[in-house]
Amino acid sequence: MELAEIKESFEFFDDWEDKYRFILEIGKDLPDMDDDYRIEKNLIRGCQSQVWLVYAIEDNKLRFQIDSDAHIVRGLLKILLVAINNLSPSEIIETDLETLFEELGLMAHLSMSRGNGLRAMIGKINQIAENGAS
């Protein structure tokens, strides 16, 4: 799935419930993380649910694996991965992920704790990119 497809799908939906169902559906496509990576050091702090993040840098591209124990969060993570996986650190830094979620109409519909969790995920990804760019 490409980011353009996700944006097009969100434009098609008339109400939040349709968007919510779509997020749940694409979350099913997020690959499960191996239990060996579901450890304390890979948890992202600030998320209401448990979210684990691991990454590798190959050929100056960041490759992320991310997972959650919450279905809606898995869908949000899928959108994040589509937007940033296999980009260079500098390309990730240049990507305004919070604006992407606002453009999709998601930030206004997420609870405060989910929104804060999403911002924590974006912050962690940006921190990884900044460290990889140096």
Catalytic residues, by residue number, are: 47
> Residues near 89 by Cβ (< 8 Å), separated by ≥ 6?
57, 60, 62, 128, 129, 130, 131, 132, 133
> Residues near 60 by Cβ (< 8 Å), separated by ≥ 6?
88, 89
DSSP 3-state of 15: coil
Angle between helices 16-27 and 3-12 in degrees, nearest 10: 150
